[in-house]
């Protein structure tokens, strides 16, 4: 298969399941209410897989990596190459400090459901400028990269248009709206969940963490269930400090750092965190998160920055300046 790491057999299985569930819902429209929630989960997982793929290419061959990125684009809901300017080259370089398009404290450093719920819209708006600059730069300086970008956007648009047409073709004689129904609940709604939840993950992994600290810049979710379902995405400190490390190696990397991380930033359960922070803390504020260390909006001296480059096989290489 040309995999660079055998652990990615599970990556391919998950993507295969996502494809199979969409196909099954088109074939058995009466199963859509039961399978759509699973498709939503798999789309979010595909978003995490896209993140992993843009840090460390899944295959040895460049063509396979490009093709895999196009497949993930359909389930993630947006061209996955846009992770490069917004995430690899911006977020990983600045890590929730000034200039990071995904900062959690842009208008307030409060942490509540209203801020978390609106964060995806705010973050997407400010990331769009980086996307536009990336595309413009590629058009002016790297025609090959620009061609790849255009092709991935075309795959994204054609895939969604084709699936909408297929839904209409299969069900237009039975009842108006069924084609749109299967298209929306099997493909579009999962993609919306994927884009939104991936940004919420970023928010909760950095809000009230110490952006100026060597090891306290990220919040970790170390429960085994979450990390199995989302390919070790919970080990965020280790990921930021070793961005090119394969996702399967993050638990071991986290174990080496765990004693140096503030205990407030190592959460066992995502579900308990959400319930405690967005429900209980509304009535009992002391149960909510508090700022660890310095506020990210307060400039600090002597902080190392991270310089990152990305080659066309999607591998990211970062080093401390």
Say how far apart CA 57 and CA 59 lie, in whole Å: 6
Q: Report which of 269, 261, 268 is spatially closest to residue 241, judged by C-alpha positions.
A: 261
Q: Give pLDDT, residue 318.
A: 43
Query: What percent of the chain has pLDDT above 90?
Result: 89
User: What's the DSSP call for residue 3?
Assistant: B
For the entire predicted model, the pTM comes to 0.92
Question: Is 261 in a helix, a strand, or coil?
Answer: coil
Residue at token pair 């749109």: 180
Neighbouring residues of 299: CB distance < 8 A, sequence distance ≥ 6: 98
Q: Looking at residues 171-198, what average pLDDT do you find?
A: 92
Q: How confident is the model at residue 316 (pLDDT cuts 50, 70, 90)?
A: very low
Calpha distance 256→239 (Å, rounded): 13
Residue 303 has pLDDT above 80, yes or no: no
pLDDT given at position 315: 46
Torsion of CA 147, 148, 149, 155, to 10 degrees: 110
Question: Once rounded to an integer, what is the mean pLDDT over residues 107-135?
Answer: 97
The region of weakest confidence among 160-164, 175-179, 261-265 is: 175-179
- Predicted pLDDT of residue 298: 78
| Other Cβ atoms closer than 10 A to 42 | 25
Confidence of residue 70 (pLDDT cuts 50, 70, 90): very high
Quote the pLDDT of residue 117: 97
Q: Are residues 237 and 218 in contact, defined by beta-carbon separation less than 8 angstroms?
A: yes
Domain locations along the chain:
8-299
pLDDT averaged over the chain? 93
- Has residue 1 got a pLDDT over 90? no
> Does the structure show a pLDDT above 90 at 302?
no
- Residue 277 confidence (pLDDT) above 70: yes
Q: What is the pLDDT of residues 304-315, one digit of tens each?
A: 544 455 554 444
Averaged pLDDT for residues 78-106: 96
Does 220 score more than 60 pLDDT? yes
Contact 293, 79 (CB under 8 A): no
pLDDT tens-digit series, residues 122-172: 999 999 999 999 999 999 999 999 999 999 999 999 999 999 999 999 998
User: How confident is the model over 45-63, as a mean pLDDT?
Assistant: 96
Residue whose tokens read 């096989």: 313
Q: What is the pLDDT of residue 295?
A: 85
Residue 46 has pLDDT above 50, yes or no: yes
Structure tokens at 157: 């648009």
Report the relative pairing of strands 220-221 and 266-267 from DSSP bridges. parallel
Of the candidates 63, 80, 61, 62, the one whose C-alpha atom is nearest the C-alpha of residue 71 is 80
Q: What pLDDT does residue 320 have?
A: 37
Mean pLDDT of 195-214: 97
Specify the pLDDT at position 319: 39
Residue carrying the six token digits 């999607």:
314
Q: What is the mean pLDDT of residues 227-247?
A: 97
Sign for the pseudo-dihedral over CA of 73, 76, 82, 83: negative
Evaluate whether 53 touches 65 at the Cβ level (below 8 Å): yes
Q: What is the pLDDT of residue 9?
A: 97
């Amino acid at each position: 298969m040309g995999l660079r790491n055998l652990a990615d057999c599970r990556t391919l299985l998950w993507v295969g399941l996502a494809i199979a569930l969409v196909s099954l819902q088109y074939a058995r429209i009466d199963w859509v209410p039961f399978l759509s929630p699973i498709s939503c989960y798999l789309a979010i997982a595909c978003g995490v897989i896209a993140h992993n793929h843009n840090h460390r290419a899944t295959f040895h061959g460049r063509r396979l990596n490009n093709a895999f990125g196009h497949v993930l684009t359909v389930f993630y809901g947006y061209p996955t190459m846009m992770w490069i300017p917004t995430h690899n080259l911006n977020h990983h370089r600045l890590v929730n400090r000034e200039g990071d398009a995904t900062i959690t404290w842009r208008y307030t450093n409060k942490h509540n459901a209203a801020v978390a719920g609106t964060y995806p819209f705010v973050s997407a708006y400010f990331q769009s400028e980086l996307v536009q600059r990336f595309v413009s730069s590629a058009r002016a300086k790297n025609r090959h990269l620009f061609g790849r970008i255009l092709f991935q956007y075309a795959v994204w648009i054609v895939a969604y248009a084709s699936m909408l047409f297929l839904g209409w073709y299969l069900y237009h004689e039975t009842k108006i709206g069924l084609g749109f129904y299967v298209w929306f609940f099997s493909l579009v709604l999962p993609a919306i969940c994927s884009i939104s939840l991936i940004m919420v993950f970023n928010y909760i992994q950095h809000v009230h963490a110490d952006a100026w600290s060597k090891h306290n810049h990220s919040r970790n979710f170390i429960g085994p269930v979450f990390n199995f379902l989302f390919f070790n995405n919970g080990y965020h400190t280790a990921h930021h400090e070793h961005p090119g490390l394969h996702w399967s190696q993050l638990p071991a990397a986290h174990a080496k750092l765990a004693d140096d991380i503030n205990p407030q930033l190592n959460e066992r359960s995502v579900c308990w965190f959400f319930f405690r922070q967005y429900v209980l803390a509304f009535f009992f504020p002391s149960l909510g998160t508090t700022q660890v260390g310095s506020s990210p909006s307060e400039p600090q001296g002597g902080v190392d920055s991270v310089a990152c480059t990305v080659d066309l096989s999607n591998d990211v290489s970062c080093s401390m300046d």
